[in-house]
Structure 1
Amino acid sequence: MSVSTLAPAFTLDDARAAGLRKDQVYALLTAGRIERLGRSVYVRTGTIDPAFAALAAATALRNAATLCLTSALAHHDLTDQIPFGTDIALPRGQRHPAGFEYVTWHSFDAATFTIGRETFDAADGLQLAAYSAERTIVDSFRLAHHEGPDLAYTALRRWLQRRGSSPASLLQVAASFPKALPRIRQALEALL
């Protein structure tokens, strides 16, 4: 029974397609060679950075799963906050997978869902998605009533101190979110 033929994150259906029976999957689980992260979704032990394990498992179930908000700010090193769980966005209307511990699900508008969405290689060719620094800052301002305004201002301040950051690129992303645009302009005027 070879677990190396499976993707770093896989579903029970993926395991069956690779020739493993359900009892063999449970034997791998008992042996500690795989970990269960949600209902019928597993990751191979030691192949994925623990910071991205929940995102990898969510992506195995929903291709659109995207790292967002505080988790994406931490990924871009724009906050000192350590998220309690992983913030994952799905397009509004998609059902959130069941059985995930320490995941906060967010539903974003399908019309703007792909704005600023980037992929990165997490392990063994596993492609995961996260929002860009600019999109994450916009979302932090847009959802400041949930996340707190300090998070957004700290992220913006750190981002502006980086070489190559361009307020014009931030405003270009913010233009797709008309309610957040005035707050971001005001924050840029105060910080620049």
Structure 2
Amino acid sequence: MVFGGFASHSVAARIDDARPALIVSADAGARGGKILPYKKLLDDAIAQAQHQPKHVLLVDRGLAKMAWVDGRDLDFATLRQQHLGASVPVAWLESNETSCILYTSGTTGKPKGVQRDVGGYAVALATSMDTIFGGKAGGVFFCASDIGWSSATPISFTRRCWQAWRLLFTKDCRRTRTAGSGGKLSRNTRLTGCFPPRPRFAC
């Protein structure tokens, strides 16, 4: 997992380090009212990288036009439609096997991939939501951070490990926040917990 704001050469370095068989990306993202074309950035990164992934799975949000690479790029919506209702067996993993690799910013040198294990990660998530955020079954939790940030990733995945909280994501991230956004969100959704990326977003 990488932060969505990296330049193509930074993404290329992480591709070479992780050597993924598959990369998952959206067509684009939005920040501060501007559209960021992720697919173009990713294509440039793959062109610069020594390692070449076999496939790129793309989620087309309709934010930006993108070029498709035949034989490599796959459309998530099409594949999802083909497998709707299919029974997929669980792939059981040992507790010490890798859950994910989260990359650091690389400001102190070569980017470092932080490996999260399956068992320890799940236990840490459930414990954190209970002891730090006071999570209760049926509560509503909002994580106002990028899923690729090291602080937000665990919280964003908590629902998958502990079926108690719902995650809320804004549908249109291009709208600018106002001073009252946090309060309005809390009132409208009856939040019982929140994780802000920085103090500037008060919950």
The question of a shared fold, defined as TM-score above 0.5 by the shorter chain, is answered with no
The TM-score by the shorter chain falls in which range? Answer: under 0.3
TM-score under structure 2 normalisation? 0.21
Larger helix proportion, structure 1 or 2? 1
Higher relative contact order (CA 8 A, sep 6+): 2
TM-score under structure 1 normalisation? 0.22
